[in-house]
């Protein structure tokens, strides 16, 4: 199968920010005297839409609105973002795919304004043809923007591959009608990802070897 365009998820897939998310949510839980999260528990519980995930962690939206909680999280997250970094091997795999002539895009539940700024900050902005995020910071899901992106790419769907780190990425790819592979170094455990019925990898280096060994370019 000859892929001509790769769509990347951002948070968790390219950006190594799961620990930051645990740090921020634990600060918010502690403030409310709610049980704290471990990284493993977070990776078992995190999901889309994030409102449901917040409720699972103990937030009571009868006492305070989801909008207040979501805004508090993203404010602290944004302030601490630069303590995170890209996953090992991100620049190498993006460069190698770029050199092969295959186009790349980002599809993210991050607010698009922040997404653009962060891709520039981490110096990977120029690898991408399309950069699509949400118009708010409440991370409701990516299916609608995914459907818009696949129209903009305007290729046969079998020529497009999505790479993500959550079950939602597989759901989005299915809605878009394209193939998907997942990586277990982000926001969901490998066990959860393996329920999606797609290839699951541990490291970007493994994805690169898989891509090039299949001669998909």
Q: Are residues 101 and 118 both part of a single domain?
A: yes
The chain-wide mean pLDDT, for the chain, equals 94
Instruction: Among 26, 55, 83, identify where a domain stops.
Output: 83
Q: Which domain holds residue 76?
A: 18-83
Q: What pLDDT shows up at residue 136?
A: 72
DSSP category for residue 123: T
Mean pLDDT on 194-217: 86
| pLDDT one-digit tens code per residue, 51-64 | 999 999 999 999 99
Question: How far lies 11's CA from each of 41, 100, 118, 190, 215, in Å?
Answer: 18, 24, 11, 16, 27
Q: Are 206 and 178 in contact (CB under 8 A)?
A: no
Q: Are residues 192 and 153 both part of a single domain?
A: yes
Q: Which residues contact 2 (CB under 8 A, 6 or more apart)?
A: 159, 216, 217
Q: Are residues 170 and 116 both part of a single domain?
A: yes
Question: Is 134 in a helix, a strand, or coil?
Answer: strand
Q: Which residues contact 22 (CB under 8 A, 6 or more apart)?
A: 37, 38, 39, 42
Q: Are residues 108 and 166 both part of a single domain?
A: yes
Q: Are residues 67 and 150 both part of a single domain?
A: no
| pLDDT one-digit tens code per residue, 86-119 | 999 999 999 999 999 999 999 999 999 999 999 9
Q: Are residues 120 and 132 both part of a single domain?
A: yes
107, β-bridge pairs: 132
Residue 16 has pLDDT above 90, yes or no: yes
The two tokens of residue 114 are 């922040």
Q: Are residues 95 and 193 both part of a single domain?
A: yes
Question: Is 179 in a helix, a strand, or coil?
Answer: strand
Positive or negative, the Cα torsion across 84, 88, 92, 93? negative
Q: What's the whole-model pTM score?
A: 0.94
Q: Are 149 and 5 in contact (CB under 8 A)?
A: no
Question: How far lies 208's CA from each of 123, 125, 201, in Å?
Answer: 20, 20, 10
Q: Are 182 and 162 in contact (CB under 8 A)?
A: no
Residue 217: pLDDT band with limits 50, 70, 90: very low
């Amino acid at each position: 199968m000859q892929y001509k365009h790769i769509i990347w998820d951002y948070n968790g897939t390219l950006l190594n920010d799961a620990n930051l998310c645990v740090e921020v949510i634990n600060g918010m839980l502690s403030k409310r005297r709610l049980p704290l999260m471990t990284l493993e528990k977070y990776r078992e519980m995190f999901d889309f839409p994030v409102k449901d995930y917040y409720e699972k962690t103990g937030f009571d939206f009868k006492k305070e609105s989801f909008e207040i909680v979501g805004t508090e999280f993203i404010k602290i997250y944004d302030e601490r973002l630069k303590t995170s970094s890209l996953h090992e091997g991100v620049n190498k795999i993006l460069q190698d795919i770029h050199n092969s002539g295959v186009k790349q895009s980002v599809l993210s539940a991050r607010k698009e304004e922040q997404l653009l700024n962060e891709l520039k900050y981490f110096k990977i902005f120029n690898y991408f043809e399309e950069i699509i995020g949400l118009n708010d910071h409440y991370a409701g899901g990516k299916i609608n923007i995914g459907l818009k992106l696949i129209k903009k790419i305007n290729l046969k769907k079998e020529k497009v591959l999505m790479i993500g780190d959550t079950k939602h990425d597989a759901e989005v790819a299915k809605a878009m009608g394209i193939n998907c592979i997942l990586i277990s170094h982000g926001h969901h455990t490998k066990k959860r990802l393996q329920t999606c019925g797609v290839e699951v990898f541990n490291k970007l280096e493994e994805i690169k070897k898989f891509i090039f060994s299949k001669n998909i370019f």
